[in-house]
Structure 1
Amino acid sequence: MKSLWHGRTTRRWVFGLALVAIFGVILVLAAPREPPSTKGAGVPPAESSMPRALPSISPTATPKPTRSAPLANVSASIPPVTADYRALASAAAVAIYSWDSRSSSYSDVYARIRDWWFVLPDGSNPLAVLVQEFEATGINAGSFASLAGQGAYRVATFESMACDNELVKVRERPAPWVGLHVCTVRLKVVDQTVSSSSSYTAPVSVMANCPPAATAPPDRCQMVGFYASTSRIVY
């Protein structure tokens, strides 16, 4: 009897210890786990989900494209129908110093200026003078061809003008007939190519033949000559 009770008591202790052990295991398994420490372990941190900024790249410097200027409005430069010799002289001077090799050949430019020049009946203002004075503006057939290869053009704008008795030389030597006027026009000129630009002032002396001159039309003035050579400018 004593032996039986001792055996039962032993079994109860064993069973109780087993329950305690099982309960302890459950507690351990149910407890939240801490992430393993990475201190001193040399483990790289997890990559962020945020996108990385791209490395800054310095763009390669490229030459800026040359903006093509609009064609100079010289093709329509025709003599105005006017009896105002000042208006004719200023328009003629601007036309003489304006051309665009991108839209015209030298022959075109010369023909346009030729349309302004009225040859007098006595032949005292031959076209040979026109050629000489036009070349005095700084261009001829050879130089124009070279300039055309550079996309060159020239633009002139009116600055000031003096006419007739406002000019010392005309006061000293008046015009040979009534209706013949002399005006010296000062222009601002810009010479432009694809690679360079220069500006300067240029004088042009323009002779206008107007009514009541016998050789002039009854209603308008005509250009009968101009000087661009430095030695022939009328001051």
Structure 2
Amino acid sequence: MIKDTKLAVLIDGDNIPSRYIKEMMEEITKYGTPTIKRIYGDWTQPHLKKWKDILLENAITPIQQYGYTTGKNATDSAMIIDAMDILYSEKVNGFCLVSSDSDFTKLATRLREAGMEVYGIGEKKTPNPFIVACDKFIYLEILQPNEEIKDAKSGKTTKVKRKFDAITPQVIKFLRNTVADAADEDGWAFLGDVGSLIMKKQPNFDARNFGFDKLTPLFNAINKFEIEEKTQGNSRFKLIYVKNK
């Protein structure tokens, strides 16, 4: 179910590849309505040409920011200033910060302190401080079924099936502990509550990291949990519950 959340989407054009744009914008709509969409960079630079070609069709407003000082990231500063202006305008109740740069850690923290929902989107190279500063962090790599690999000699790009993260004993322990934390006296936990608690503990945890669309098939694949559908009272709808074996 899509939340009635108005989102400001702010994209760091300097370190986010343009090839993710379609899947990225579709992902953002799961969390709210993107009412403000801006991308920041020095548009006189050739490395942003690919972004320039797709901005119009995605209704994203480019914000020009010249690099006035060598060694300083003017794009980051412009994004941060705009974010604070938007915050005080009270036009949105959530932000989506698209960057793999840890420089936005303080911004994410400040926005959450102000009561904003903050979603982060970036590549897997994103430093952990920025990830944990967000309510939820989505890796760009999981939004595409295939990875693009560029051959160093020929320069040609080919698509290969993306490798998923392994379900390690640490992952299983984390899930079992979370189920136990959310469980009732009989050991059963509503899967929705488990998912919410997982996100609070690890904002970057996502079933798609392991090759599953949702939490339910992930729990089923591990074979360390019991899954059961239950109805509440006279409701026709069944809710999914999980229990540690």
Select the structure of larger CA radius of gyration.
1
Higher strand fraction (1 or 2): 2
Higher helix fraction (1 or 2): 2
TM-score above 0.5 = no
TM-score with structure 2 setting the length: 0.20
Higher RCO structure (Cα 8 Å, ≥6 apart): 1
